[in-house]
Structure 1
């Protein structure tokens, strides 16, 4: 057998070569890659995935869209950025030694946006799929495709939403899942908005151009957000500054009001907006101004009188912030000036007319901060102050001479002032992968004054809340919560509990179930606000009781792939002492706020979202029942159905013509008739129940959105294709100043619009 012999000198040479090669590889020069990911509208691409093709390097962008990849060997690579709901992008990069390569990828909305990152009710931003709450998201892309002028124009196509209009005051209220706006919490970046009356007019007093997205959580959120959150939460998320660059945006849109239109002013709807953002070395600044003018619509009125009041809104916002690796803080101011003009009819005998002008001024200050002490512990702080004033100015106009004088009648000149302070802090501590804890506190201080306010009342609400996430396995996520309340006016329940759970039955099928106890103390406007004019006689009620509720919600979500998602939801809400309007027992011509002993809502929804090639579609259905309030009085009204039901169907279709950069969209909703039972007195003084109905209707908008170049986007379309103006109403109730008799006003008819958007960014 032949021996193999290796000399000691050769072995030593091989070992030396191996060591030197390893050392050279270890000492290969490296650099880094960093930047900020932006979406098409300039907002951050929060939590996008960043990969470097060719090396095993990847990271996740933070909530501001910023990312950093260190220790990348010098060379040429391909950077790949992806985010759920957006088209992935790739770009070549060159990594140089000992210096960062700075990039700013920009993502466009994809046609398969079935999942998004949400923040409402979460410990930290996370995808909808991981959330224990069933959250609906309306993205900035969807808002843009609608050509919307206000939030109502976005929500009116959503399942479960209805709107009612007060033409005399020029206000609009929202209803969600059978509940009035009183039970819907409106948030701006997670902080509550203030309304003068019992309507949620703040939805139409928010600058649509500053909104990044709208998140909707149905069902009580009383543990997390306190009073008013019985029916659900609408959280308006504003845009955030993007990368280290200067950005300029602008938008103009012209729209008819029915057949009424005049270019740029007076008749029709006219919107102008301009905004700017800047960011450098962690500092960011943004500001914007929007003017939204509606010239009114005469409708069925005659002479000087309009069915829909002319409205002029001026919005302004400014923001300054600083973000570091583990901290983020910013201050934001939102300002509103709104003028509505109600022109009275001319007196044929005196040739005088009585005009009223409603002037609203609102300033919302908010300060928010986040400190991430470690991967396990972080603290969020929020504070806001809202100064809200609405003034009524009544004048008498001499149509012969043109002379205008102030009216001195009761309530003709008044101002109502509301001041609200909110302080909120939450901590998030991860004990282990199976358990995390979130304690926090809320302080809400509300005050009001004015001629129509009884005295100068205040309500202070203090709360401590705690919730946790328990995950015994990767497929189970349970979140119990408790809220402890101290109210300066009412004895709140000793504790408000909630329990939410999510079960991943399979990789494609998720089940969510929840129970929540709700509590809502009466607001200042319901207790002490007295409103008397030519069309309203409403009195506050200082003896109101607090509302409570028990609510159950469940949803089953099937997501077969990124191209199909189906959600089936059911809900049941049982309310005690619900606050509504009734007749003042001392004066039947006056309405007042009262407690209703029992009220319930129940129903189900089904929503399907799917994409096929360049078509994205949403098809939904809902069936909602409202409790018949006359049911408890069987002596007078006999046997009546427990619930009265209404149906809704909606469809959103968008087809992307990629070759010519154009998107065609159709938004459709059928709203079924809304029945109710009302008490009536027959000619022989017998009491009976009468079925009344608000008629069903179809609503549809069709829009076209075309990208002209990287700076300009054109959009145009038709709103209210079926020309809906008023809804038939069989109610004949005229016994109070807050009656529901006669046709229900809904819109000013079919309208046409065209607009142009501009965006420019400098790296």
Structure 2
């Protein structure tokens, strides 16, 4: 990284550090030691314990994180502050005679949190141990240590997650447990995100700096969250206001793109973020802005073209709310403007080049409220409106004169619009200590328009769902659920059932078993979206059938102590009429969405989490099989005995963090091995015979190394190396990777090894 970048960041950090106001103790009428305990995100450290070392005198923080110790002898004291899931703090204080001492302290997450509180699919926030779902949590500390630019940079180390890249459009897609992204539900604070195509590009259109944690539930969640939730749910939860009256945050990070970096010439990756939070007497507000700029990477391309397209993202969010002990209501706006530039090669004869700019606008409005009417009865209401637009602007550049003109080619000037409304309301009622009920309604209204969309279609989905938690004994939890659907286009099943169970076999061993029926109606993008350009030939299919699935999954969790936890998971899914890509029978040059008669996935995962003194680690393994759908194709039945029913791929991951407490530094290593990805393609020889041909995408190793160093109470310096093994492309034996947005030849993964340096500023005042 250049000396200019380093000097710039250090100067900015010094400026921020010197600008921090001095906190002065507020005088009160009482004499003693008073304090506020906050969690890393600024929320109150309720129920944290405080004890004066060497005495029996102590206190417990209230719901606002506040505590007060009276009748204390003057002089020096050391307070021991502790809370489950967080590092203990030793806070020295000096109490003068007849004086009052006040301070605020912020806890840090423990090296490992084995009992995180989760909200996805729950009646109310609940610990992982009590939840009937097997939920994976990526907390704020891991996100911070990854120094990620986007959500993909956080999830790419998780078991079961794989990403594919479309270099032509500059987009990414996600796969979860062998299933494509179109079967993964992406939620922002529990409400669905909208995507233009079948890829889940919305994952990388969320400001990484606004995320508090990510919760992942594997397996169908159709009863709770409806369509698109066949493979699982990724719930991205944003930061909430804490107990501080005023908070200011900022982040800058500079990163190379392989060996390319120049701050002034816009080479490499550049991140700037600033945010502010405020609250008083229950009212709270927050706002933030982030600019992510990626200068692209030329890679193996020549001339004007680049392998990885330059991208500029501008994020903004604002939130205003009011909360009391029994009420929490807020409005939130998330806005995005994204520009991608695809520069075409120069024609040697005409000296002209064809450039395309992809411009995206996304506005997400959310209104959410929780009301606790009594200890037994709670209400929750959610509403969201998403306005999503993507414009394709094609121009012809005269390289000699620099003059640009709009291209008049078919489909080269396009504006696609998607509008989505979601309304959701639930009631949670505790009948007794053994029985709880949660009925709810879920309404989704989708509309689309544009030159590449056939007509102006709409799809409306209305659902009523009800679930119950039954605890016949202290060691058994049973959660049955039913969802009743009315779809404006498709005949949904009369009812979609699910059954989740949890058995505490011993004090340390929990067993979870679940069954769920899945239903997904085709999305507007699959029915009516047509996409033709130099690299894509994709046609929508209005005759698609709805998908159905039956899924079985379970997990065995052993937690032998506060420092070790092991989770063995397994799943088996059967899908009917799964939507995928196939060849248009009227034109073999065009791909279209089709229904596959049958598809299956199965596999197992093993994840171990442990912590010992200053070392914390996770080590995991997965083995996932995908059904070979050629076995059911009529032209390849004769080869059924020559190919296996399932094609398997292994994964291994590990995360290690070591704390150097004397210098307030954390060293972190994130590693993942992704095994080869095999598949069978139908090929036709010169005699017209159809044969099953095995193709494989090569395995690869990925690793990131980061160093995080605290600089006083307000600044944190982060540096390190991403993609240590310098992976750019993977060998691919297929001439077609099997997707409408894929290219033949090597499969792109990354722009290679990169180096980064970042500075984060956090200041809070009560």
* Residue number in structure 1 paired with 2:757: 754
Shift of 1:105: 4.0
Which secondary structure does the structure 2 equivalent of 1:638 belong to? helix
Q: CA deviation at 1:733?
A: 3.9
TM-score by length of 1: 0.91
Is the Cα–Cα contact under 8 Å of residues 36 and 66 in structure 2 kept in the other structure? no
1:524/1:626 Cα in 2 relative to 1: closer, same or farther (>3 Å)?
same
Q: Contact 1:304–1:346 (CA<8 Å) still a contact in 2?
A: yes
Q: Distance in 1 between matches of 2:758 and 2:165?
A: 26
The one of 638, 641, 645 aligned to 2:648: 645
**Greater radius of gyration (CA):** 1
Give the corresponding residue for 1:201: 201
Which residue of 2 is the match for residue 593 of structure 1? 593
Q: Secondary structure at the match of 1:145?
A: helix
CA drift at 1:217: 0.5
Q: Provide the residue aligned with 2:746 in structure 1.
A: 743
- Please say which of residues 336-345 and 276-285 is displaced more in the overlay: 276-285
When residues 374 and 648 of structure 1 are mapped into structure 2, their CA distance, relative to the original with a 3 A threshold, is same
Deviation at 1:91, TM superposition (A): 5.6
Once the two structures are TM-superposed, the CA of residue 732 in structure 1 deviates from its matched residue by 2.5
Q: Which residue of 2 aligns with 1:560?
A: 560
Aligned with residue 714 of structure 1, among 704, 717, 732: 717
In the alignment, which residue of structure 2 is the partner of 1:615? 615
CA distance in 1, matches of 2:319, 2:663: 36
Q: Counterparts of 2:183 and 2:42 in 1: how far apart (Å)?
A: 31
Query: Is residue 684 from structure 1 mapped to residue 687 from structure 2 by the alignment?
Result: yes
CA distance in 2, matches of 1:735, 1:444: 31
Matched-pair contact (CA < 8 Å) for 1:719–1:751: yes
> In 1, distance between residues paired with 2:246 and 2:733?
57
- Assess if the C-alpha contact under 8 Å between 2:48 and 2:65 holds in 1: no
Q: Please state whether the residue corresponding to 1:620 is helix, strand or coil.
A: strand
Give the whole-Å Cα distance in 2 for the aligned partners of 1:734 and 1:283.
52
What do the CA deviations read for 1:529-560 (whole angstroms, capped 9, x no partner)? 00011100100011111111110111001111
Deviates more, 1:739-748 or 1:282-291: 739-748
Q: Which residue of 2 is the match for residue 44 of structure 1?
A: 43
Report matched runs for 1:11-410 at 5 Å: 37-40=37-40, 42-45=41-44, 48-50=47-49, 54=56, 58=60, 61=63, 66-67=64-65, 82-89=82-89, 104-263=104-263, 265-410=265-410
How far did 1:79 drift?
A: 7.5
Which stretch has the larger CA shift, 374-383 or 259-268? Answer: 259-268
| In 1: Cα distance, 2:409 partner to 2:627 partner | 42
Cα gap change, 1:635/1:740 in structure 2, threshold over 3 Å: closer, same or farther?
Answer: farther
Equivalent-residue separation in structure 1 for 2:718 and 2:207 (angstroms): 19
Gaps of 5+ in 2: 1-28
1 CA distance for matches of 2:65 and 2:369? 20
Given candidates 690, 693, 696, the residue that maps to 2:696 is: 693
Distance in 2, matches of 1:495 and 1:35, equals 53
- 2:662 is matched with 659
User: How far off is 1:478 after superposition?
Assistant: 0.8
Shift of 1:613: 1.4
SS of 1:659's equivalent?
A: helix
How far off is 1:242 after superposition?
A: 1.4
The superposition leaves residues 604-627 of structure 1 with CA deviations (integer Å, 9 ceiling, x where unpaired) of 000001111111011000000000
Q: Distance in 1 between matches of 2:410 and 2:651?
A: 44
Partner of 2:14: none
1:112–1:562 Cα contact (<8 Å) kept? no
Shift in Å, 1:106 = 1.5
TM-score (norm 2): 0.91
Report the 3-state secondary structure (helix = DSSP H, G, I; strand = E; otherwise coil) of the residue aligned with 2:305. coil
| CA offset digits 1:374-402 (Å, max 9, x no partner) | 11111011111100000000000000111
- 2: CA distance between counterparts of 1:376 and 1:359? 49
CA distance, structure 2, for counterparts of residue 750 and residue 563 of structure 1: 34
Aligned partner of 1:724 among 722, 727, 730:
727
Structure 2 partner of 1:635: 637
Query: Is the 1:48–1:82 Cα contact (8 Å) retained in structure 2?
Result: no
CA drift of 1:126 comes to: 1.1
CA distance in 2, matches of 1:229, 1:415: 28
Q: 1:757 to 1:598 in 2, by over 3 A?
A: same
Q: Secondary structure at the match of 1:284?
A: strand
Deviations 1:291-349 (A, max 9, x none): 00000000110000000000000000011111112101111100000000000000111
Pair 74,323 (structure 1): closer, same or farther in 2 beyond 3 Å: farther
Give yes or no for contact 1:36–1:44 (8 Å, CA) kept in 2: no
Q: 1:416 to 1:31 in 2, by over 3 A?
A: farther
Measured against aligned partners, the alpha-carbon deviations of 1:562-611 in whole angstroms (never above 9, x if no partner) come to 11000000000100100001011111100000100100000000000111
> Does the CA contact (< 8 Å) of 2:37 and 2:61 recur in 1?
no
Which position in structure 1 is the counterpart of 2:426?
Answer: 426
| Contact preservation (8 Å) 2:339, 2:358 | yes
Please give the alpha-carbon distance, in whole angstroms, between the structure 1 residues aligned to 2:527 and 2:367. 30
Query: Which stretch has the larger CA shift, 78-87 or 538-547?
Result: 78-87
Compared CA separation, residues 32 and 428, structure 1 to 2 (3 A): farther
CA distance in 2, matches of 1:31, 1:377: 41
Compared CA separation, residues 528 and 75, structure 1 to 2 (3 A): same
Deviation at 1:285, TM superposition (A): 0.9
Cα deviation 1:246-289 (Å, max 9, x = unaligned): 11110100000011110255110000000111111111111100
- Does the aligned pair in 2 maintain the 1:447–1:459 contact within 8 Å? yes
For the residues of structure 2 that align with 1:326 and 1:502, how far apart are their CA atoms?
A: 30
Rounded Cα–Cα distance in structure 2 between residues aligned with 1:46 and 1:592: 53
Gapped regions of structure 1 (runs ≥ 5): 1-28
Distance 1:125 1:637 in 2: 52
State how far apart, in whole Å, the 1-side matches of 2:259 and 2:446 are.
Answer: 43
Alignment check: 8 A CA contact 1:422 1:442 kept = yes
CA displacement at 1:101 relative to structure 2: 10
Change (3 A) 1:242 1:604: same
2:448 alignment counterpart: 448
What secondary structure does 1:349 align onto?
coil
SS at match of 1:301: coil
Greater CA drift, 305-314 or 237-246 = 237-246
Deviation at 1:127, TM superposition (A): 0.9
Secondary structure, counterpart of 2:431 in structure 1: strand
CA distance in 2, matches of 1:90, 1:284: 31
* Helix, strand or coil at the partner of 2:153: helix
